[in-house]
Every structure is written in C-alpha cells, then in structure tokens.
Homo-oligomer: A and B are copies of this chain.
Amino acid sequence: MADNTLKVVSTAKAHGGMQGVYTTYSDACACEMTFAVFVPPQALERPCPVLWYLSGLTCTHQNVMDKGEYRKRAAELGLIVVCPDTSPRGDQVPDDATNWQFGKGAGFYLDATEEPWNVNYNMKTHILEELPVLIGKHFPADMSRQSVFGHSMGGHGALTFALANPDRFKSCSAFAPIVQPSSADWSKGAFARYLGKDQAAWRAHDAVALIEDGATFPELLVDQGTADGFLEDGLRPWLLEDACKAAGIPLTLRMQEGYDHSYYFISTFMDDHLDWHAQRLGA
C-alpha cells in the first residue's frame, strides 16, 4: 500500500546538484516503481520549479539520465528534473514480451480499462497523482510551478498531460512525439488492448484528438529530426501542426535536418527545451 515514502537507490553529485534514483510503492500500478530526480544547487536556498521528462518506448527512468545531457543546463537554470519509468514493472505484472510497443516499457501514459492490464497499467495516475505528492513532500520543489516534456511515446505523454491539465503545467514541449497515437502504426494496437475497441475512449489520450475536442494550451514546442526512421508511420508532426492551426494554438515545430530518433537528437536540443521551460516557469 502506498504510504508516501520513498527508498533511495542511489545519489551522486553532478554539475553542482544531485542526481538521485528512488523507488516507491505505487497503488495505481500495484508494484514498486522507480524514478529519477535531479535537484539543482539552487534548491539549497529556495524551492525550485519541477520539469517532468517522460521517456519513450522501451526506456526506463535511466536512459535519459545516462544520455539526455540535461544536468548541466538544469543546474544553471535551477530546475528540478523528474524522470519516471514508462510502465509498471515486476514478475507479477502481465506483459507481452514479444511486443516492444505494448506492455512493459510501453505504458503510453494512460490508465488501462481492459483486463488484465487495468490492474497495473495506470501510468497516468502514477505520474499525475502519486508522484507529485512524493516530489512535493520529499524534495525542495515549488509544485505551483510544473512543466512537462518528453520523447516519442513520452512526447505523446507530455502533450496529452498538458492539454488535459493546462492549469497545472506552465509549459509543454516534445522531441519527436507520437501526436496521434490512435492512428499511428506503433500505438493503435496498444490502445486497443489497454482501452478496448471503442475508439471514443481513446481520444482523451491522443493529442490531436484532444485539440479537436476543444483542449487547448498557451503554446507548444516540438523538435523533429528529418532523418527519423519513424517520421512517416509513427510520428507525423504535420497532424499536430494542422490541429494547432485550426485551434489557434501557437506551435513552434522545428524540423531538424539530418537528426534521427535517438538520444543524440534529444541531447542536441535538450538545452533549447530546458531554456524554453525555464523561461515559462520563471526559473
């Protein structure tokens, strides 16, 4: 049962701040969950704003911690960066081990409604409800200032979380997001299994559909590599561009020449995104 405690897995000084890894028992996911928190040096003196980074398919909290290159600039800007996992974990959690687009590593930032997935696959409640309580309790965080960004499946998570919660998040950006998962080759199968066959229920977890249905946000930043092998089938940023244009949401969509879908792409534009959020968080 959740008791709002966390266990320290590791901490290390980095760029003047502290990179930690923690676990907590999640009621929503009915398992122990791991997440990473970087605390900048400014937090010794004052509460700092919180930037959530949501990772892509197959990732854990660790990929961006190793390869994202966010700590130097976050330490300069005074941002707490929280990196959750991408799915429930553990031997008792059902999975489809042959499918990297479903099950473990592929939680899609939603609450599943279909059995047996609905027992554990509730990443939306874990990240939007459980973790903020923990972060606010255990870290020097100003929870009135939160922003969110992410990569690929995590870009989908960032966009949908922000569009559904515009009062909570001051800003939102994404690297190569899945903008319309209901129709993308690599996500529609997962949506059917997590949420059932009635596609009306999918729209609350689809950025383009949310915008079509009236959700809005002050402005969005999206970077997308032109050499990304998933551009045509999975990502299709032009769908978000069309939806934002029709809804009057200012979108800065930058097509980055020659970049692929990897952390080499993410790390290259990480500082730009941190600057974007810091400005809007008053960091």
Residues of A participating in the B interface, judged by any CB pair closer than 8 Å: 12-16, 19, 66-67, 69, 71-72, 225, 227, 258-260, 262, 264-265, 267-268, 271
Q: How far is the CA of A71 from the CA of B69 in the complex (A)?
A: 10
Residue in contact with A67 in the complex, picked from B67, B225, B259, CB distance below 8 Å: B67
A13-B225, A66-B67, A72-B268 known, 9 other contacts, Cβ within 8 Å: A12-B264, A12-B265, A13-B265, A14-B265, A14-B268, A19-B264, A69-B69, A69-B72, A71-B268
Q: Is the CB of B69 within 8 A of A259?
A: no
Given contacts A15-B268, A258-B13, A264-B13, contact A66 B69 (CB under 8 A): no
Set of chain B residues within 8 Å of A72, measured between Cβ atoms = 69, 267-268, 271
Q: Is the CB of A267 within 8 A of B14?
A: yes
Set of chain B residues within 8 Å of A66, measured between Cβ atoms = 66-67
Q: How far is the CA of A12 from the CA of B268 in the complex (A)?
A: 11
Q: How far is the CA of A227 from the CA of B271 in the complex (A)?
A: 28
Q: How far is the CA of A186 from the CA of B191 in the complex (A)?
A: 52
Smallest CB separation, A17 vs chain B (Å) = 9
Q: Is the CB of B71 within 8 A of A267?
A: yes
Give 24 pairs: A residue, B residue, CB < 8 Å, sorted on A. Answer: A12-B260, A12-B262, A12-B264, A12-B265, A13-B227, A13-B258, A13-B259, A13-B260, A13-B268, A14-B264, A14-B265, A14-B268, A15-B267, A15-B268, A16-B268, A66-B66, A66-B67, A67-B67, A69-B69, A71-B264, A71-B267, A71-B268, A72-B268, A72-B271
Set of chain B residues within 8 Å of A16, measured between Cβ atoms = 268
Set of chain B residues within 8 Å of A262, measured between Cβ atoms = 12
